[in-house]
């Protein structure tokens, strides 16, 4: 009967050990889950910024007088339509370098993990290309 008594004593000593183990590991599990969610929000925010910059660059490359305003407005429209609360402090800037035009979108992804610096989740998307020139079929000069 001595062996039976020690098994019962061991069971009594280990009572509640599972709860303590769970209490010790739960913060680690919670941090890992929050980091996964944070990465997913950053990745999705990057996709939204890329789409907005791409749409703005599409309009910037068309040779027109109001290309800059049109491109920035289109990129803002895409951000508002797809992820208005996903990107914080989004700024849209149209640029021109020689015969190339495009749009750059800079923003910060929504922050879920409060202890990480906000600059960690800065998103910058830049798209552009050569200015498109449409020439008439009659051989006359359409653009310079």
Delimit the domains of the chain by residue range.
16-130
**Burial of 8 per CB tally in 10 Å (0-12, 13-18, 19+):** exposed
pLDDT digits (tens, 9 = 90+) for 13-63: 667 677 888 888 999 999 899 999 999 999 999 999 999 999 999 999 987
- CATH fold, domain 16-130, is Nuclear Transport Factor 2; Chain: A, (3.10.450)
CA–CA separation, 123 vs 86, rounded Å? 11
Whether 4 has a pLDDT exceeding 70, the answer reads no
| Cα 46 to the center of its chain, rounded Å | 3
Q: What is the pTM of this model?
A: 0.76
């Amino acid at each position: 009967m001595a062996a039976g008594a020690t098994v019962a004593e061991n069971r009594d000593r280990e009572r509640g050990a599972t709860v303590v183990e769970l209490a010790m590991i739960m913060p680690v599990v919670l941090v890992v889950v929050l980091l996964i969610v944070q990465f997913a929000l950053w990745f999705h925010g990057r996709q939204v910024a890329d789409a907005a910059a791409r749409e703005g660059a599409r309009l910037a490359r068309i040779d027109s007088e109001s290309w800059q305003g049109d491109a920035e407005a289109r990129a803002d429209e895409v951000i508002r339509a797809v992820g208005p609360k996903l990107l914080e402090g989004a700024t849209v800037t149209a640029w021109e370098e020689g015969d190339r035009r495009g749009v750059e979108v800079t923003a910060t992804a929504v922050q879920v993990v409060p202890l990480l610096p906000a600059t960690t989740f800065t998103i910058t998307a830049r798209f552009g290309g050569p200015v498109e020139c449409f020439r008439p079929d009659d051989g006359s000069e359409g653009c310079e």
